[in-house]
Amino acid sequence: MTEHHIDIWSDQTRLAGAVTLPTSAGSHPAALLLSGSGPLDRDSNTKRMRLDVSKSIAAGLLSHGIASMRYDKRGVGASGGEYLPAGFDDETADARAALDALRTHARIDADRVIVIGHSAGATVAMRLVRTSTPPAGYVFLAAAAMTGEQVMEWQTHRIAATLPSPRGKRARRFERRQARHRALLSGSTTDIVRLAWVRWNARWFREYMTYDPTEDLATIDRPVLAITGANDIQVDPDDVARIGGLVTGNFDGDVPADLTHILRRDSSAPSLRAYRKQFRQPVDPWVVDRVSEWARSHLT
């Protein structure tokens, strides 16, 4: 892929991004790519975890003549600022700044820009409907249609059900610990807290847990594609239908069998332990093709 560096200014914070452009002349339709939760770089990766979601989708879009922008989160990679003290509202402000930067790029058609978000990045994408000029379309990958606190509670019960002896002591211990962590994060007053010897971005969690996306979803009157795998254990696959019932624009929804939260196929029983094996696989080619073809049909 041919990439061009771009600086994105969100208030006083400089975010380092990359714009991927087709080789043809003229202005191009484009997509802003938003990664999930955590200190992810522009490719949706950390040092210990390679998701490659944004990188894979950018390549798929380019093959269909669509430009894209992705960027390192604040405090990550080449971006300025600090990651841990930043809140969910800061992450949304950064996405708005990135959307503005993409639209004003000399080779981008500002009227043909969509947003594509994965996991918590999809939740951020929903909030962009509140910009003065909303995106021309939305792609929600593994997206939730409930409050962040409800998502975290659903995750806890779903993951507990995948543990050995799901009704045994280990599962109950896991559920109690997660409930305790949710309560501590929700009741915290500082930007960062320490739980089980690990520093957590508490302000991000407080703001995320209280955000209810249903009102923003009901405001969306542009085309929407939502994809959540049937083997997702972090987001309820039934939320695809809930999103479809809330948005008023043209809607396409898919719940592919065997697709997991990290957008890989796995026909075995879903579990967090299976992620290690799934990371060795590429992002599911069907997802990349589905998103790219949907974007082409609505933008070109």
Name the region of 129 (left: φ>0; alpha: ψ -120 to 50; beta: rest).
alpha
Examine the fold and report which residue of 211, 234, 250 is the final residue of a domain before the chain moves on: 211
The answer to whether the CB of 18 falls within 8 A of the CB of 3 is: yes
240 and 116 co-located in one domain: yes
Kindly write down the DSSP assignment for every residue of 160-193, as one continuous string.
Answer: HTTSSSTTSHHHHHHHHHHHHHHHHHHH--SS-E
In-domain check, residue 177: yes
CA 135, CA 39: separation in Å to the nearest integer? 25
Report the pLDDT value the prediction gives residue 242, as an integer from 0 to 100: 98
pLDDT above 80: residue 204:
yes
CA 25, CA 36: separation in Å to the nearest integer? 32
pLDDT above 80: residue 3:
yes
pLDDT above 70: residue 146:
yes
153 and 252 co-located in one domain: no
Q: Report the share of the chain in percent with pLDDT over 90.
A: 90
Identify which has the larger pLDDT, 215 or 1: 215
pLDDT above 80: residue 298:
yes
The answer to whether the CB of 149 falls within 8 A of the CB of 123 is: no
Report the pLDDT value the prediction gives residue 90, as an integer from 0 to 100: 98
Report the pLDDT value the prediction gives residue 1, as an integer from 0 to 100: 65
97 and 223 co-located in one domain: yes
Report the pLDDT value the prediction gives residue 179, as an integer from 0 to 100: 96
User: The tokens 């939730």 sit on which residue?
Assistant: 144
221 and 281 co-located in one domain: yes
195 and 70 co-located in one domain: no
In tens, the pLDDT along 174-198 reads: 999 999 999 999 999 999 999 889 9
Identify which has the larger pLDDT, 34 or 170: 34
CA 132, CA 81: separation in Å to the nearest integer? 26
Report the pLDDT value the prediction gives residue 2, as an integer from 0 to 100: 76
How would residue 170 be classed by pLDDT, with cut points 50, 70 and 90? confident
Give the chain's domain count.
2
193 and 266 co-located in one domain: no
CA 291, CA 297: separation in Å to the nearest integer? 10
66 and 189 co-located in one domain: no
In-domain check, residue 22: yes
Average confidence (pLDDT) over 117-137: 97
Looking at the DSSP bridge assignments, the partners of residue 71 are 17
Examine the fold and report which residue of 211, 236, 254 is the final residue of a domain before the chain moves on: 211
Examine the fold and report which residue of 169, 188, 211 is the final residue of a domain before the chain moves on: 211
Average confidence (pLDDT) over 124-151: 97
pLDDT above 80: residue 107:
yes
Average confidence (pLDDT) over 151-161: 95
Domain housing 173: 147-211
User: The tokens 């043809």 sit on which residue?
Assistant: 24
Report the pLDDT value the prediction gives residue 171, as an integer from 0 to 100: 87
For the chain, the average pLDDT equals 96
Report the pLDDT value the prediction gives residue 210, as an integer from 0 to 100: 98
CATH number of the domain bearing residue 48: 3.40.50.1820
